[in-house]
Amino acid sequence: MTHKAFAKLFSGISAFVICSAAAMAQQANDKVPVNPIGVGAAWSANVDGASVTGRSFDDNELALIEQINTYFNEMWHLQGRFVQTDWQNQRMKGRFFVRRPGRFRFIYSPPSKLVILSDGRLLSIEDYATEDVERYPLSSTPFRLLLGRDVNLLRDARIVDLYDNDEVASITLEDKSGDATGRIKLSFSKDEGFELSEWTITDAQGLNTRIQVADLVLGQKADPNLFRASKIGLPGVESNR
Domains of the chain by residue range? 60-227
pLDDT tens digit string along 124-133?
999 998 888 8
Euclidean distance between CA atoms 115 and 104, whole angstroms: 11
Which residues face 211 on adjacent strands?
84, 199
DSSP 10: H
User: Percentage of residues in the chain with pLDDT exceeding 90?
Assistant: 56
Average pLDDT over residues 26-43: 68
Euclidean distance between CA atoms 92 and 169, whole angstroms: 25
Cα-Cα end-to-end distance for the chain? 65
pLDDT tens digit string along 85-116?
999 999 999 999 999 999 999 999 999 999 99
Q: What is the pLDDT of residue 52?
A: 45
Q: What is the pLDDT of residue 13?
A: 34
Q: Is the pLDDT of residue 24 over 50?
A: no
Cα dihedral value 37, 35, 89, 92, nearest 10: -110
| Average pLDDT value for the chain | 81
Q: What count of Cα atoms within 13 Å lies in the side-chain half-sphere of residue 103?
A: 18
Write out the DSSP string of 71-122. HHHT-SEEEEEEEEE-TT--EEEEEEEEETTTEEEEEEPTT--EEEEEESSE
Q: What is the pLDDT of residue 1?
A: 54
Q: Is the pLDDT of residue 6 over 50?
A: no
CATH H-level, domain 60-227: superfamily: Lipoprotein localisation LolA/LolB/LppX (2.50.20.10)
Determine the residue type at 49.
G
Which residues face 174 on adjacent strands?
158, 183
Q: What is the pLDDT of residue 232?
A: 65
Euclidean distance between CA atoms 235 and 238, whole angstroms: 8
140: left (phi over 0), alpha (psi -120 to 50) or beta: alpha
Determine the residue type at 235.
P
pTM value is 0.79
Q: Which of 40-54, 94-108, 213-227 has the lowest mean pLDDT?
A: 40-54
| Omega prior to 101 cis, within 30 of 0 | yes
Total Cβ atoms within 10 A of residue 197 = 18
Euclidean distance between CA atoms 180 and 108, whole angstroms: 28
pLDDT tens digit string along 136-183?
988 888 888 899 999 999 998 999 999 999 999 999 998 776 656 789
Average pLDDT over residues 203-230: 93
pLDDT tens digit string along 11-23?
443 343 333 333 3
Euclidean distance between CA atoms 118 and 135, whole angstroms: 9
